[in-house]
A and B are shown apart, each in its own frame.
Chain A
Amino acid sequence: MKHVPTVAWRELRSLFVSPVAYAVLSLFAVVAGFFFVLFVSAFNEQLMRLQQFQAFDQLEQLNLSDHLIGYFYQQILGLLAFVVPGITMGLFVSEKQNGTQELLMTSPLTIWDVVLGKFGAAAGFVTLLVAMVGAFPALLFFYGDPEVGKTISGLLALLLVGWTFVAVGTFASSITRSQIVAVLITFVLLIGLMMLPVISMLGVLGDAGGAGAALAWLSPGEHFDPLLQGLVDTADLTYFAVVIGSLLLLTKAAVESVRWR
């Protein structure tokens, strides 16, 4: 697997000569900035209202970490679900379109070199996005004192969910020959994953208890929230590792299947 960085580096360079990378980066900065401003002003309004009513109990509870940064991170999670399919759609599809798959498969590379290289490139890009997001709460440290731990564990949560989304997109790109289809599959899978807690409460599943809970457990959202609260639990971290690992295994099988046919 010594060629993982070679493959990842080429992938990143191609991403940065295409308009996609810059479109996503600027869109992300603008929309994240918009959300941030929105939540800052909402927070201020809330603060003023509570002071007006002299609601000291609630004022006591109001804090930057939970009532601003937490909400902000939740919006970013939704934003990630929108941009990740755009980043991952070309990973394998463009190799098939260029005919370069034939080059990769006849070079002394293992399939893991290719799969991990491509996942690593897209995951690296998402890491850049999350780092950009981190700049916003960092601003708040100049004016107030949010909890450092929660701010960071929230970023970690975004990073892990972002990587999970990337793994979904990587898999989708490996099973189709069209970028649009790859985007659609990724969207459907991501929405499905995020909706699992809701689905698990419906009808029979809701009553079944165990099955419903198991379904809900599969959703990244269930493991995002504790991290957002500052609760870094090994069980949640394991969840992300297992889901990403399984998706990459599926991707490897899909890439390899070219040889079986």
Chain B
Amino acid sequence: MIEARNLSKRYGDIVAVDDVSFQVERGEVVGFLGPNGAGKTTTMRMLTGFLPPTDGSARVAGYDIFDEPLAARRAVGYLPETPPLYPEMSVESYVDYVARIKDVPRGERAAKVGRALERCGLEAVGRRVIGTLSKGFRQRVGLAQAIVHEPPVLILDEPTVGLDPVQIGEIRELIRGLAGGDGEARHTVILSTHILPEVEAICRRVVMINGGRKTVDAPLSELTAGGQSLEALFAREAARDATPGADNTAEAEAEEGAP
């Protein structure tokens, strides 16, 4: 469902993402790991079509992000690091607006908006203004916005950051549910995080990048075989290719340049 081929992103001399390739099959939940500034966000932004790669290409749900950008974007639900919310809108009208711009046909819109609100536990706050919601609820609205058009592919950038343990549990449950459906309803999920227990809780496969390069790509069961902890692996991988200085600036610039 997702196929990244030799993706690279350079800002001048600074290499944010360097020749990253991987594949994700339908219904898989892949954990995208790496230290801060490793290039996770940049890679996700390239997959969603927000940033064009300097080199390489990608296919999402069978559509090339260059040749069929609109079809590819229709097939993706994306939750950026900070949920893209309009604070002055009500939850319902916001999710309805997103459904419109994601090309959900008029006849199905009300039903899909209702379903997204229900799945994210937002029915009770549907008429509330987003700006007055707590952080946990805003994160859920962000997730509702990502799933409202029922895209085959979900790309979630740190979906549980800043939530309390109960909320984290709920969101994880929700993500597991999204990938657990049948046939067409099964979502393919890429989720970035640096919370390792989260990966163990929901992902079946791990892709780790560090310094812009892919360092690990293996099923979780293989990585933790023989009682090895994911934490030890993460520490080892993060230390191995230590060019963090340069790549931190790359990521920082990416944030600056790509608002």
Contact = CB atoms under 8 A, between A and B. Distances in A.
Contact of A108 (B11, B80, B87, B103): B103
Interface string A1-27: 001001100100110011000000000
A107 B11 contact: no
A233 interface: no
B258 A261 contact: yes
Interface string B69-85: 01101101010101111
A111 B101 CA distance: 12
Most chain A beta carbons < 10 A, residue from B71, B76, B259: B259
Interface in B28-42: none
A108 B49 CA distance: 10
Interface stretch (A35-43, A94-102, A208-216, A238-246): A94-102
Given A105-B49, A108-B73, A6 B84 contact: no
B89 interface: yes
A104 interface: yes
A259 B101 contact: no
B100 A14 contact: no
Report the contact-size class of chain B (Cβ under 8 Å from the partner): 20 to 34
A188 interface: no
A258 B258 contact: yes
A98 B86 contact: yes
Most chain A beta carbons < 10 A, residue from B50, B80, B101: B101
A99 B101 contact: no
A108 B101 contact: yes
Contacts of B100: 3, 6
Contacts of B145: 103
A109 to B, nearest CB: 6
Contacts of A17: 88-89
A107 B88 contact: no
A72 B39 CA distance: 59
Contacts of A234: none
B97 A102 contact: no
A177 B100 CA distance: 26
A197 to B, nearest CB: 38
Nearest to A10: B97
Contacts of A101: 84, 259
Contacts of A107: 73, 98, 101-102
B51 interface: yes
21 contacts: A3-B101, A13-B93, A17-B88, A17-B89, A18-B88, A99-B83, A99-B85, A100-B86, A103-B84, A103-B145, A105-B49, A106-B73, A106-B78, A108-B101, A110-B70, A258-B258, A259-B51, A259-B52, A260-B52, A261-B11, A261-B258
Interface of A: 3, 6-7, 10, 13-14, 17-18, 96, 98-110, 177, 258-261
